[in-house]
Structure 1
Amino acid sequence: MPSFLMQALCETLWPTRCALCDEPGSLLCARCTNELRYIDYYQACPTCGAPWGRIQCDACNAVAAQHKPLAAPCVSCLEYDACAAAIVKTYKDKGEQRLGDVMAAMMARVVRPSWISWAQAVTYVPATPEAVRRRGFDHAQVLAGAFAHEVGLPCIALVEQAGAADQRALGRSQRAANIAGRFRAPRAAGFDRVIAVDDVTTTGATLAGIQDALARMQCASRLVTFARV
């Protein structure tokens, strides 16, 4: 009862508001949810999940693969526009951790059932120690835990950072160089198949680094992100 009363008091003083339109009532209102730019599975690349890549993908074709790491197979829920960016920023940088449940539920709906039956566990791209100190939580861990709950799999920290810098201010080539060899997966022994979760696919370098770390431990991975640039 005290917890219920405290929640009621907090909701009265600081009502839950939509991350996009600021209307009170929910973290993401129905109108804004319907207006998001969802990636169409039937138009997306079947390999890397890039929007509009079903016939000719400009993200993972043979020429592109020579110049950047390839993270595949991968699926994403939204195109990374201003609305998706606002949701991610509110979740990661404004302390609204409850949005992780909303994002995870949306991600779970785009994952093929065959992936869920294939996987043994869910893992995630760990945030840098600096990012965890700045935000007060590991956004990837919370998101992966919520996603794992949605799909009925355990969430296990299999990968760890090995000194990579924050990616947000880096360009494509810088991201690839920053990530190369920057992850290790010492706890992946005993796992053969996992789903790795992240919030945003930008160049794919981070996810490719995670895949490489897992592959070195003979663990195959499939990738799911909330949004894709």
Structure 2
Amino acid sequence: MKDFFKRIASDIKYYFSVPKCTSCREPLDKGGLPLCRECHKAYTRTLDRQCSLCGRRLSLCSCAGEFLKSHGISGHIKLFRYDNREENRAANSLIYSAKSSARKDNTNFLAGELALAVKFNLQKIENAVITSIPRRPGAIRKYGFDHAERLARALALELGIEYIPLLNSGAKRQQKKMSREKRIENASFTLTASPDLTGKVVLIVDDVVTSGASMSVAAGKIKTLGKRIKIYAVSVALAYR
């Protein structure tokens, strides 16, 4: 009888402390995922969308748009296409949660998904290092953390390679509604370290790539750190304006 009441107490404690699904806000099972079963199914359906360039699933390709390629980025590894349609709600909620909360289950889930995509697209990662697009200082003050750095560090652990913080952001304004030209002007980065990256593969992590402005400016800075540096953009989602 005592064990029965202990189980009841444990279940009650779990119910009130358990995180909610990032999409529908229902309490989660004890599985460690940030999405409930139904929302996880919706998320996996989002992954079926194909690349408009090669025809493969987005997570199985490393196609980069012409703008990224013109700025020295060899490929773009991503999971899904970001849009505001209802069927994308579960997938989009993972990005919203990453930006606004410090939920470890969400970060670790996205890192695991990205690790699979990186391993599929880059068979040899022993010579790779990871860095991230830094968050605006104002956003860090608001939320208390840099979401892209958290994701990049978790991805580095998944892949067993080094995370190096290379960049600092001097951006003053949120980029959400800016044109590409304005985003490039606003994407002010300075190098915070100067390791010799000659011959390295550098993975630059961000949550969403929209215009490619931040990635292109970051790549330009990193290219000064050595010769024959191969750069890949890595993001949870790809969005088009």
Contact persistence 2:64–2:76 (CA under 8 A):
no
**Could you list the per-position Cα deviations for residues 124-175 of structure 1 after superposition, in whole angstroms to 9, with x for gaps in the alignment?**
1111111111111111111001111111112110122244532223222211
Contact persistence 1:162–1:184 (CA under 8 A):
yes
Q: Structure 1: where are the runs of 5+ without partners?
A: 1-6
Contact persistence 1:91–1:98 (CA under 8 A):
no
From 187, 193, 198, the counterpart of 1:187? 193
- In the aligned structure 2, how far is the partner of 1:227 from the partner of 1:142? 16
Q: Give the partner amino acid of 2:109.
A: V
From 72, 75, 84, the counterpart of 1:73? 75
CA RMSD of aligned residues (A): 3.1
> Identity percentage over the alignment?
24
From 19, 31, 40, the counterpart of 1:33? 40
Contact persistence 1:23–1:29 (CA under 8 A):
yes
User: 1:228 matched to which residue of 2?
Assistant: 238
Contact persistence 2:167–2:193 (CA under 8 A):
yes
From 17, 23, 31, the counterpart of 1:14? 17
User: 2:148 matched to which residue of 1?
Assistant: 140
- In the aligned structure 2, how far is the partner of 1:29 from the partner of 1:197? 26
User: 2:209 matched to which residue of 1?
Assistant: 201
Contact persistence 1:88–1:199 (CA under 8 A):
yes
Question: How many residue pairs get matched?
Answer: 209
User: 2:5 matched to which residue of 1?
Assistant: none
Secondary structure at the counterpart of residue 34 of structure 2: coil
Contact persistence 2:169–2:190 (CA under 8 A):
yes
TM-score by length of 1: 0.77
- In the aligned structure 2, how far is the partner of 1:132 from the partner of 1:217? 26
- In the aligned structure 2, how far is the partner of 1:155 from the partner of 1:10? 37
* The 10-residue stretch of structure 1 (197-206 or 87-96) with the greater mean CA deviation from structure 2: 87-96
- In the aligned structure 1, how far is the partner of 2:26 from the partner of 2:110? 18
- In the aligned structure 2, how far is the partner of 1:10 from the partner of 1:73? 46
- In the aligned structure 2, how far is the partner of 1:19 from the partner of 1:147? 20
User: 2:111 matched to which residue of 1?
Assistant: 104
The aligned runs of 1:147-186 (5 Å cut-off) are: 147-179=155-187, 182-186=188-192
TM-score by length of 2: 0.74
- In the aligned structure 2, how far is the partner of 1:50 from the partner of 1:165? 34
**More helix per residue:** 2
Q: Give the partner amino acid of 2:34.
A: L
From 209, 219, 222, the counterpart of 1:214? 222
**Could you list the per-position Cα deviations for residues 1-51 of structure 1 after superposition, in whole angstroms to 9, with x for gaps in the alignment?**
xxxxxx99864423222111223224123432332212667x4546xx995
Q: Give the partner amino acid of 1:107.
A: L
User: 1:122 matched to which residue of 2?
Assistant: 130
